[in-house]
Amino acid sequence: MRNLIELQKKLQPDVLEVMEKRYQILQYLRLKQPVGRRTLAASLDVSERILRSEVMFLKEQGLVHVGSGGMTLTEEGEDLLEGLEGVMKSVSGLQDLEERLARALHVNQAIIVSGNSDRYSWVKKEMGRACVQQMKEKLAPKDIVAVAGGTTLAAVAEMMSPDSNLEEVSFVPARGGLGEKVEIQSNTISSTMAQKAHGKYRLLHVPDQLSDETRESLILEPGIKELLSIIRQAKMVVHGVGEAETMAARRKTKAETLGSLKDKEAAAEAFGYYFDRAGQIVHKENTVGLQLDDLTNEQFVITVAGGASKAEAITAYMKHRPSDVLITDEGAAQAILDL
C-alpha cells in the first residue's frame, strides 16, 4: 500500500496531504460525534469553507452522516478508519517514529497517535482509545487491573467500551485520592472503566497523602489491608506521568519540600515518587496504594502520557523504569527524540 501511495504522489503530489486531512476529520468525528461543523473546524484549525467541501466529499462517499444533531460516522466510515490505521501510520512516518522512540527509551513497544495533546484536547482521547485497545488485547477474565488518576487516564476511561473479555476483570484504583477534582481521581476512573466495560471494581476510600502514623494505622485496617493486597496482585497497571512541579502543586506540597524538589531538579512524578532528569528518585510521598517496589516483571505496565510539554518528564520516568508499552502523541515523541 505504501508503494502504491508513493507512485500516486508522482501523479498527484498532494495525495498524502489530502488523505491525512480527511483521515483526521474522520478520527475526530469518531471521538466527538455528534459534532457541529463550526466546532469541528475550530478543533482541527481549518476554515469552515474548507471543512464544508471536505465534509461534502466524505458524505458523498457514504462515510459521514450529517443530521440536525451534528455529524456522525457511518458504519462504513468506522470500518474505513480501522482499516486505514496501519497504512496511515506507515505513510505518515509514525511507524518509524514509534520504532525510534521505543529504542531511545528502551520500552518494548511505543504507540504514537498523531497530534499534540498540549494543543488539541481530542488527541488525549485518541491516546485513550489506543490504551483501551491494548487493555482489551492483553487482559483475560479474572485479571485485576490497577488504574492511576489524572486527566489522561480519565480520557482512557471515557473511551472504554463493553467487551466480553473484560466482564470478569476487576478494576481497582492504584492509589488513594489527592483531594482534587473527583472525575480525575483514581477511584472514579477505575469505577468508570469497570462500568463501561461491564466489569467489576473495588474502591479505596482513603486520602493518598497521610502522616506516617496515620498511614501505618490505616493500612492495618482489615478492609484496607485486603484491598491493598488485591491491588498488589494486579496483572496490569495503567498509569500516567506528571511534571514534578505540576504534581507538587496538585498535592499542595509544603514550601520546604517544593524548594527541595527544585534544588534536586525533579522533572517527573509517578506513583508518588519524584525523579530527576537521570531517572533517580529524589523524593517520595507517603502514599496509600501501589508503590514502585510493588511492580514486578510479571505485571504488564502501560504508561499513557502525551504533549510536548511532558517530554522531559516521560524521559525521566522511563530512565528509571521502562514500561512494557508507552502510549503517547506525536508532539511528545518528537520532543523526546529532540532531547
Q: Report the phi/psi class of residue 284: left, alpha or beta, with left for phi > 0 and alpha for psi in -120 to 50.
A: beta
Q: What pLDDT is recorded for position 140?
A: 94
List phi, psi (to 5°) of 270: -155, 135
CATH architecture of 94-338: 3-Layer(aba) Sandwich (3.40)
Check residue 24 and give its pLDDT: 87
Report the pLDDT value the prediction gives residue 135, as an integer from 0 to 100.
96
Rounded Cα gap, residues 105 and 336, in angstroms: 9
Tell me the whole-structure pTM to 2 decimals: 0.88
Name the residue ranges covered by the structural domains of the chain: 1-92, 94-338
pLDDT at position 165, please?
87
For the segment 308-333, the average pLDDT, to the nearest whole number, is 96
Residue 172's pLDDT band (boundaries 50, 70, 90)? very high
Higher per-residue confidence, 94 vs 303: 303
Name the pLDDT band for 91 (thresholds 50, 70, 90).
confident
281: cell is 528518585
CATH of 1-92, one of 1.10.357.10, 3.40.50.150, 1.10.10.10, 3.90.1150.10: 1.10.10.10
- Are both 1-92 and 94-338 of the same fold? no
